[in-house]
A and B are shown apart, each in its own frame.
Chain A
Amino acid sequence: MAPSIEYYCPCLAESPHPPPPHLPSSSYSFHPLHNLFFCEECDAVRCNRCVLVEVSGYYCPNCLFEVPSASVRAEKNRCARNCFMCPNCRNTLTVVPSDPPDDGDSRTSPIVANTLGEAPFFLYCNHCRWDSAEVGIIFEKPTGLAAQLQKFEDSAPESLEFERLKEHFEPFLRASSSSALPSAAAAHHVHTNPITAAASSALARDIPGVGKYNPLARSRVGRDKHAHRHELPDYKARVEIAGAAALSGEADVEFLRHLETASEVAALEQRWTNSWVTSLRESDLKPLRIPLQSKKSKRCPSCRHILIKPEQKAQSVRFKIKLVAANYLPAIAVTLPHAQAALEMMKRSSNLGKSTSAAAAAEEQQAAGSLIAGHSYSFHLAFTNPLYDPIQIRLAKAVPAQAEGSDAEKTRRNTFHVQLPSTAFPVAAFAEAWEYDDDEEEMFGLDDDGMEIVDTRGKKSKDGRGKTRSVGIVERRANVTVVSGEVLIPKEARGDVKFNMLVSYTYRSDDPEPTEETEMGTPSRTHLTTKAPEMKNFSFYTVVDLGTIMYREEPKVIADL
């Protein structure tokens, strides 16, 4: 596994310090940089677990139609046009006209036999060859299919039964608004007389089952029973389950008893939203309308400023506002030079024509890049500065602030020692020209800079192979600074080499050059620099995962291979 780094968002915890990384729950507090937002007002990192999400528009992912909110509710978050999903494979269905020479024999529908044209249309799955004529769904015209199906959906048994139930209970509830329900019903029906409300709440307090223990209540229970009989007549279901048994009941048992393959039965996922007893058979599944998706804008949970807001149009993938953390925090990449070197060796050997199988090669790679107990390794942290100002970064290994009860466990886990560069180091400012910019600004001087990058990369790999064990700056180029740290793994160490690292950086805008920057910078960046003319400090926690410690035995075995 490649070493990785994730950033801490303090939204879940009460303390500003991150949880110790060996706890499984800690993984929920750390996120990759590209998933994080940055709130300028609060000067804080925000993650997808804490931001407030608002829907800024609905659209169908298939036809990209922006659905007006008014019809979203009526259509139950489904596309109301021609978009359907295959019930078997969830592929998009296409509308096809019927083809008499092919279909005449197999389809029993009389319409097919009669018409030579394309009159009955049906939905067809290009992936699994399912078609809707199998379940008797055909259309007269190839457009507005959802509207044609709507009448079936409106008369769905569960919604009819539901309405009937509602009618059944409504008069009863109105009659005994608060007394019958021991719940917050009283709070709802504020229109009731306060005296009756008090009386009924006193009644509601009476604990059920009391009749058994109170000899006087025995008769009362009987009366109650009759009383409520009078109030609430027995419910006559529209479709009783015993009546529907022909559809399910015994038939299902018999069907399952003589089942040949499991795929004849619809999977649980295909029928679990049905609240009505339906057939178990996969062949009876109906086409699904494609669920809508939403464009979401996100707000900071504390100051409610917008962090990200997409453009309204469904086709657009741009954002009107985008305050992502990658524009504010330095990006960090972790590498293990010895693993990289090993990888390169491997590549070279395989290029030479060694006939090692892919699996073996992968294993070898893993072994070569692994951390073996009893050794010390250096690791490289490459910091990329996204700001237009140079920054000073200082690293610290986070000490777990709260001393937890399981001290013994902690000492056992924290056996490895990490050494980080103790002095602050600079990272040069980001300049548009040095890197490809996603805002599609003009890339002047692209060719020259490209050459330069290749050069520096070449240097860097040499350095990596050189295995400089020193702790400190390894390399500086453009807006990237690579520093080296060292981890010492004692022989008895186990588990993952994972530690929390506090990164604090100071940024200042000594020479802001405002005219030029407004020209080329993205809005957010400009905003930041203008807002922070003096020196500012920001720090955040990260978790560095260098990989799992391996034992000595394993590499030996692999070496023998």
Chain B
Amino acid sequence: MSAVPTTPRRHHHESTTPAATPQTTRVASSHIVQASPHYQTTRRHSLYGTEDRVILDPGSRIWKVGFSGEGKPRDVFLAESDTARSLWTLNRASNPADREEEDRVLEAKLQACLRSVFHNSLLTDPKSRKVILVEHPLLPLHIKEIMARVLFNNLQVPSISFASSHLLALLAAGRITGLVLDCGHLETTVLPVFSFRPLYPHLRTTPLAGARLSSHIKALLLMFGTYIPPATSLSAAANIPAASRSVRVPQDVLTDKVIDEIKTRCCFVGEPFDTDPSGARASSPSGGGGGDNSSELDLPPSDPALSESDFSRVSAEIESSFSSAHAASSSYSVVSHSQLAGMDASHGHGHAGESRVQALATMYGRHSTATDIHLRVDPPPAQQTGTGRGTLIIPGWVRERAAEVLFDGGDVDESSVAEVILDCLLKAPVDLRRTLASTILVVGGTPMLPGFIPRLQAELVRAVTRIAAHAAPPPPSRSGRPRPATYDRYAALRPLLPYFAILNNPLPRPPASTHAAANAGKAPAFTPATMAWVGGSLAGALKTGGQEVNREKWDEAEAQPGEADMAVDDAPPRAAPAKNILPDWTRTPLPVGAPPAPRPPPVTGAVEAAAPPALHAQSVAG
């Protein structure tokens, strides 16, 4: 009977992998493995060569994981599979105690995710796997630190490379120069990349992304959807017509999962509304759409106060994401909320908003040929008395037009998906604009909506051309934001018009220039959502990848917290070493060997610290 906890075989194994640094032995063994591809050994840690890296693409909601050198991820999963929420949001708690608690919860969740990646998805030993972490350029540093801490301390990976998701996506398209738009869950980010180098100072971002689309769908369905609860008895189901049972959609029906299902299975992006005779959408790309429409229909603008107060009922999440839109009062989301508020409050004030949105709805409905969808949904927990599941009727135009919220810009802080590209082009060096404009790559989960990319192309062209027509005085409803009517934001980009081309456009228009012809629709047919991962896999196979951090370096830095404490101003001491070690483009130290820059200690802003002295101060400012 093997009474001792370690069998002799185990002892033997122990001796081959010393506790402290097992890396050297492993490297040696894996070389042998590489030499003979058809090896028959069953030593477990020689399953993959050390050159095979683990590629992690951790999103706020969806993670993609797999091995380098493979064409598709091994596993894709929701980070919080039970709630389908996102792990982090754009906000952090302001109270330090709350924030610390938030970080602790996040660390526990990230740890669970990362452990499950290695142990359940990939079934591999983390101690022998180098990791390439596909990082979004705006991934908060504290989250990066937590991930690194879990990977190094808990899972003991030998090294982590951080690679920019935008650059990797471009690699997957076979390019090294281009303008990459990543439309994810929390935000949409545009980053130009020139010859392998992400031009971080020109990065532009907008919160119009998947999360906003979800909350918009929810708002639209609360207004225009119909819910047929399950019949109370089987005989009633046969006798009472469904129409007489139909009610407005209860909030509880529209869970995050249902919204997700609607978004991924029912929604698509329709053509732009150019053909509309009323010209409601055609009037102005920079947010004049809603305004023009309301003035034309002679409707009062929505009452922000009312909607603010009543809308809080819906859910804190939507409220927070929309509160800024209220101020602008120019997007459909605002309209829908005021309407929603009117419905909920059911008093006089709601009426104006309702009729206004109704006008929008009829306009969209008139021009949409999309079919209504009957979706079986679970009844809300409070009303689970009937037989079976309820039915949610989603109007066809909602399916087609829900994504309008992403293309509906005009707000300074929340530019539309097309505008954010143009803004980025405006920031980019003049010499690069033409190249960048003709090599736009669209990646991320939200562009998986059918029709998204062709629509984006159309919106780009329209935004640049239409501003000439925008010479008309701004509509009265937008008096709150004074702006000279003649202001032509994208005039500088108008010469680029024939060059706009989206690399992964499945439906390229007949190209206007040879430049565009050489690029539009020429990317390989990878899905936008997985492009960053595929690029990471490619980088791993090519043995490149981003800046690499070894475990030795990490352990070293963690062992001397005293020094790190001095360098860090406001971070908690345990997070300190990471600050010095993890690559971060906002405060990249100069590489060794560079002339020491005469600079005060890094108490200045993060962006300024990134730019070496004179020359690049402009790039930050411009």
- B524 and A237 contact, CB distance less than 8 A: yes
Residues of A within 8 A of B562 (CB): none
| Chain B proximity of A65: nearest CB distance (Å) | 15
| Chain B proximity of A443: nearest CB distance (Å) | 20
Taking the complex as formed, is B618 at the interface, i.e. its CB lies under 8 A from any CB of chain A?
yes
The contact string, 1 if C-beta is below 8 Å from chain A, for chain B 30-59, is 000000001111111011100000000000
Residues of B within 8 A of A256 (CB): 266-268, 370, 399, 450
Q: How many residues of A contact B (CB 8 A)?
A: 120
- A240 and B507 contact, CB distance less than 8 A: no
- A161 and B375 contact, CB distance less than 8 A: no
Taking the complex as formed, is A63 at the interface, i.e. its CB lies under 8 A from any CB of chain B?
no
- B525 and A268 contact, CB distance less than 8 A: no
Residues of B within 8 A of A240 (CB): 521-525
Expressed in whole angstroms, the Cα–Cα distance for A224 and B521 within the complex equals 25
- A49 and B112 contact, CB distance less than 8 A: yes
Taking the complex as formed, is A222 at the interface, i.e. its CB lies under 8 A from any CB of chain B?
yes
- B506 and A248 contact, CB distance less than 8 A: yes
- A527 and B14 contact, CB distance less than 8 A: no
- A23 and B101 contact, CB distance less than 8 A: yes
- A275 and B619 contact, CB distance less than 8 A: no
Expressed in whole angstroms, the Cα–Cα distance for A54 and B262 within the complex equals 40
Taking the complex as formed, is B2 at the interface, i.e. its CB lies under 8 A from any CB of chain A?
yes
Interface centre among A53, A54, A209, A235, by most chain B C-beta atoms within 10 angstroms, is: A209
Taking the complex as formed, is A214 at the interface, i.e. its CB lies under 8 A from any CB of chain B?
yes
Taking the complex as formed, is A183 at the interface, i.e. its CB lies under 8 A from any CB of chain B?
yes
Residues of B within 8 A of A73 (CB): 47-48
Residues of B within 8 A of A274 (CB): 72, 527, 530
- A25 and B101 contact, CB distance less than 8 A: yes
Of the candidates A235, A292, A406, the one whose C-beta lies within 8 Å of that of B123 is A292
B7 nearest in chain A by CB position: A320
- A238 and B618 contact, CB distance less than 8 A: no
- A202 and B594 contact, CB distance less than 8 A: yes
Expressed in whole angstroms, the Cα–Cα distance for A561 and B467 within the complex equals 68
Taking the complex as formed, is A267 at the interface, i.e. its CB lies under 8 A from any CB of chain B?
yes
The contact string, 1 if C-beta is below 8 Å from chain A, for chain B 589-622, is 0110110000000000000000110011011001
- B261 and A49 contact, CB distance less than 8 A: no
- B529 and A169 contact, CB distance less than 8 A: no
- A207 and B612 contact, CB distance less than 8 A: yes
Expressed in whole angstroms, the Cα–Cα distance for A505 and B325 within the complex equals 60
Expressed in whole angstroms, the Cα–Cα distance for A184 and B542 within the complex equals 13
Expressed in whole angstroms, the Cα–Cα distance for A136 and B556 within the complex equals 57
The segment from B193-201, B302-310, B338-346 that touches chain A is B193-201
Q: With A168-B174, A241-B524 as known contacts, state yes or no: A276 contacts B47, CB within 8 Å.
A: no
- A245 and B521 contact, CB distance less than 8 A: yes
The contact string, 1 if C-beta is below 8 Å from chain A, for chain B 509-528, is 00000000010111111110
| Chain B proximity of A194: nearest CB distance (Å) | 11
Expressed in whole angstroms, the Cα–Cα distance for A52 and B101 within the complex equals 26
Q: With A210-B615, A257-B369 as known contacts, state yes or no: A180 contacts B506, CB within 8 Å.
A: no
Taking the complex as formed, is A560 at the interface, i.e. its CB lies under 8 A from any CB of chain B?
no
The segment from A103-111, A258-266, A477-485, A548-556 that touches chain B is A258-266
Of the candidates A224, A237, A272, A273, the one whose C-beta lies within 8 Å of that of B195 is A224
Interface centre among B39, B450, B507, B545, by most chain A C-beta atoms within 10 angstroms, is: B450
Q: With A224-B195, A240-B524 as known contacts, state yes or no: A275 contacts B615, CB within 8 Å.
A: no
Taking the complex as formed, is A16 at the interface, i.e. its CB lies under 8 A from any CB of chain B?
no
A530 nearest in chain B by CB position: B3
The segment from B226-234, B290-298, B358-366, B531-539 that touches chain A is B531-539
The segment from A152-160, A415-423, A448-456 that touches chain B is A152-160
- B71 and A161 contact, CB distance less than 8 A: yes
- A213 and B619 contact, CB distance less than 8 A: yes
- B506 and A241 contact, CB distance less than 8 A: yes
| Chain A proximity of B511: nearest CB distance (Å) | 11
Expressed in whole angstroms, the Cα–Cα distance for A54 and B127 within the complex equals 9
- A262 and B375 contact, CB distance less than 8 A: yes
Expressed in whole angstroms, the Cα–Cα distance for A514 and B43 within the complex equals 39
Taking the complex as formed, is B19 at the interface, i.e. its CB lies under 8 A from any CB of chain A?
yes
Taking the complex as formed, is B6 at the interface, i.e. its CB lies under 8 A from any CB of chain A?
yes
- A170 and B115 contact, CB distance less than 8 A: no
- A169 and B163 contact, CB distance less than 8 A: no
Residues of A within 8 A of B423 (CB): none
Of the candidates A280, A301, A523, the one whose C-beta lies within 8 Å of that of B3 is A523
- A40 and B5 contact, CB distance less than 8 A: yes
| Chain B proximity of A265: nearest CB distance (Å) | 4
| Chain A proximity of B314: nearest CB distance (Å) | 24
- A406 and B97 contact, CB distance less than 8 A: yes
A305 nearest in chain B by CB position: B5
- A70 and B40 contact, CB distance less than 8 A: yes
- A182 and B196 contact, CB distance less than 8 A: yes
- A69 and B544 contact, CB distance less than 8 A: no
The contact string, 1 if C-beta is below 8 Å from chain B, for chain A 145-173, is 00000000000111101100110111001
- A527 and B435 contact, CB distance less than 8 A: no
| Chain B proximity of A381: nearest CB distance (Å) | 27
- A257 and B506 contact, CB distance less than 8 A: no
Taking the complex as formed, is B260 at the interface, i.e. its CB lies under 8 A from any CB of chain A?
yes
Expressed in whole angstroms, the Cα–Cα distance for A213 and B374 within the complex equals 57
Q: In A28-70, which residues have CB < 8 Å from any B CB?
A: 28, 40, 49-50, 52-56, 58, 68-70
Interface centre among A252, A253, A266, by most chain B C-beta atoms within 10 angstroms, is: A253
Expressed in whole angstroms, the Cα–Cα distance for A236 and B373 within the complex equals 40
| Chain B proximity of A195: nearest CB distance (Å) | 12
Residues of B within 8 A of A510 (CB): none
Q: In A272-326, which residues have CB < 8 Å from any B CB?
A: 272-277, 280, 292-294, 296, 301, 304-306, 309, 320-321, 323
| Chain B proximity of A43: nearest CB distance (Å) | 14
Expressed in whole angstroms, the Cα–Cα distance for A224 and B262 within the complex equals 47
- A208 and B105 contact, CB distance less than 8 A: no
Taking the complex as formed, is B74 at the interface, i.e. its CB lies under 8 A from any CB of chain A?
yes
Of the candidates A72, A243, A262, A321, the one whose C-beta lies within 8 Å of that of B47 is A72
Residues of B within 8 A of A1 (CB): none
Expressed in whole angstroms, the Cα–Cα distance for A76 and B66 within the complex equals 10
Expressed in whole angstroms, the Cα–Cα distance for A35 and B430 within the complex equals 61
- B72 and A208 contact, CB distance less than 8 A: no
Q: In A14-30, which residues have CB < 8 Å from any B CB?
A: 14, 19, 23-25, 28
Interface centre among B432, B524, B591, by most chain A C-beta atoms within 10 angstroms, is: B524
Expressed in whole angstroms, the Cα–Cα distance for A169 and B531 within the complex equals 16
Of the candidates B41, B374, B520, the one whose C-beta lies within 8 Å of that of A70 is B41
- B70 and A76 contact, CB distance less than 8 A: yes
| Chain A proximity of B6: nearest CB distance (Å) | 6
Residues of A within 8 A of B71 (CB): 156, 158-159, 161-162, 275-276
Interface centre among A55, A198, A321, by most chain B C-beta atoms within 10 angstroms, is: A55
Of the candidates A53, A237, A259, A323, the one whose C-beta lies within 8 Å of that of B373 is A259
A158 nearest in chain B by CB position: B71
- A275 and B526 contact, CB distance less than 8 A: yes
| Chain B proximity of A53: nearest CB distance (Å) | 5
Residues of A within 8 A of B518 (CB): 234
- B525 and A241 contact, CB distance less than 8 A: yes
- B174 and A235 contact, CB distance less than 8 A: yes
Taking the complex as formed, is B477 at the interface, i.e. its CB lies under 8 A from any CB of chain A?
no
Q: With A245-B506, A258-B371, A405-B96 as known contacts, state yes or no: A161 contacts B524, CB within 8 Å.
A: yes
Of the candidates B2, B39, B524, B526, the one whose C-beta lies within 8 Å of that of A320 is B2
Residues of B within 8 A of A301 (CB): 154
The contact string, 1 if C-beta is below 8 Å from chain A, for chain B 207-242, is 000000000000000000000000000000000000
Q: In B424-449, which residues have CB < 8 Å from any A CB?
A: 428-432, 435
Taking the complex as formed, is A187 at the interface, i.e. its CB lies under 8 A from any CB of chain B?
yes
| Chain A proximity of B454: nearest CB distance (Å) | 8
Expressed in whole angstroms, the Cα–Cα distance for A225 and B541 within the complex equals 26
Residues of A within 8 A of B156 (CB): 52
Taking the complex as formed, is A542 at the interface, i.e. its CB lies under 8 A from any CB of chain B?
no
Known A208-B195, A293-B123; 8 more pairs at CB < 8 Å? A72-B47, A77-B122, A184-B547, A244-B525, A261-B374, A263-B265, A305-B5, A321-B7
Q: List 8 A-B contacts (CB under 8 A).
A: A49-B111, A55-B44, A165-B172, A170-B542, A232-B176, A242-B508, A273-B76, A306-B6
